[in-house]
Amino acid sequence: MTVAEQLDSVVGRVASVARRAGREPDSVQLVAVSKTFPADVIRSAIARGQRVFGENRVQEAQQKWPHLKAETAGIELHLIGPLQSNKAADAVALFDVIETVDREKIARVLSEETKRQGRSLRFYIQVNTGLEPQKAGIAPDETVEFVRFCNQELGMTVEGLMCIPPAAENPGPHFALLAKLAAECGLRRLSMGMSGDFETAIEFGATSVRVGSAIFGTR
Ligand SMILES: *Cc1c(COP(=O)(O)O)cnc(C)c1O
């Protein structure tokens, strides 16, 4: 199948699970994860109507996206990978949504850069729902306080929570935990679910699913 056909198929699956869950199909945003794929492949998804994309590395995104954004109006680019402070200014200049705010230091730098550049980004807090030592993210029991800190003390626009469940576990309980934490924070948006589990994530209330290989192929 071509990228356009695989995109159509994922869009269709998102819509049918959403309907089955009693939700409007457009209540679930599809973030097409284009990391490692070249601009020409991404262009075929854009030509098919996709406008929201995710990349996990600032440097790689800088090589592809300024052109692609200039070619097509209405592109929304999400950073879904870890961010170092020394890349924060570049990230703020290029991305529209940063989904991986995971510690106080990066939150402070992002807040300052957003103001300095006069940009109006939206942010997600990444939660380490499995408390995995090698994985980024705020601990579940620190999430409510961290969201309050980012929104109220730093003046950021935190719109939701994001998680990447442990690869070897059933993702359902992690999605349920993220949904519960978001409710406690008064946040409505949940970025959860990838190629292998986005349908489950939608059943648990995902408002964004981040799908790469099911659209673009194996990396
Ligand atoms: C790569 C990546 C995805 C997409 O993964 P697929 O399994 O290819 O759909 C989603 N979220 C994050 C954070 C990623 O790094």
Say how many domains are in the chain.
Answer: 1
The residue whose C-alpha atom lies closest to atom 13 belonging to ligand 1 is 80
- Nearest in space to 45 (alpha carbons), one of 214, 174, 160, 175: 214
Element (H, E) at 66: helix 58-71
d(CA 203, CA 156): 29
d(CA 175, CA 103): 21
Report the pLDDT value the prediction gives residue 50, as an integer from 0 to 100.
Answer: 98
- Return the structure tokens found at 128: 């380490």
Report the pLDDT value the prediction gives residue 156, as an integer from 0 to 100.
Answer: 97
Q: Which residues contact 171 (CB under 8 A, 6 or more apart)?
A: 165, 192, 193, 197, 200, 201
Task: Tell me the β-bridge partners of 158.
Answer: 123
- Nearest in space to 39 (alpha carbons), one of 68, 77, 76: 68
Report the pLDDT value the prediction gives residue 82, as an integer from 0 to 100.
Answer: 96
- Nearest in space to 118 (alpha carbons), one of 141, 135, 136, 93: 93
Report the pLDDT value the prediction gives residue 1, as an integer from 0 to 100.
Answer: 92
Report the pLDDT value the prediction gives residue 33, as an integer from 0 to 100.
Answer: 98
Q: What is the DSSP string of 34-61?
A: -TT--HHHHHHHHHTT--EEEES-HHHH
Cβ count near 1 (within 10 Å): 9
CATH number of the domain bearing residue 74: 3.20.20.10
Ligand 1 proximity of 212 Cβ (cutoff 6 Å)? yes
Residue 131: what are its φ and ψ, rounded to 5°?
A: 45, 45
**Contact status, residue 48 vs residue 7, Cβ threshold 8 Å:** yes
The minimum-distance atom of ligand 1 relative to the CA of 195 is 9
127 C-alpha to ligand 1 centroid (Å): 15
- Mind listing the pLDDT tens digit of every residue in the chain (219 residues)? 999 999 999 999 999 999 999 999 999 999 999 999 999 999 999 999 999 999 999 999 999 999 999 999 999 999 999 999 999 999 999 999 999 999 999 999 999 999 999 999 999 999 999 999 999 999 999 999 999 999 999 999 999 999 999 999 999 999 999 999 999 999 999 999 999 999 999 999 999 999 999 999 999
Structural domain that includes position 168: 3-216
Ligand 1 proximity of 210 Cβ (cutoff 6 Å)? yes
Ligand 1 proximity of 79 Cβ (cutoff 6 Å)? no
Ligand 1 proximity of 213 Cβ (cutoff 6 Å)? yes
Report the pLDDT value the prediction gives residue 112, as an integer from 0 to 100.
Answer: 98
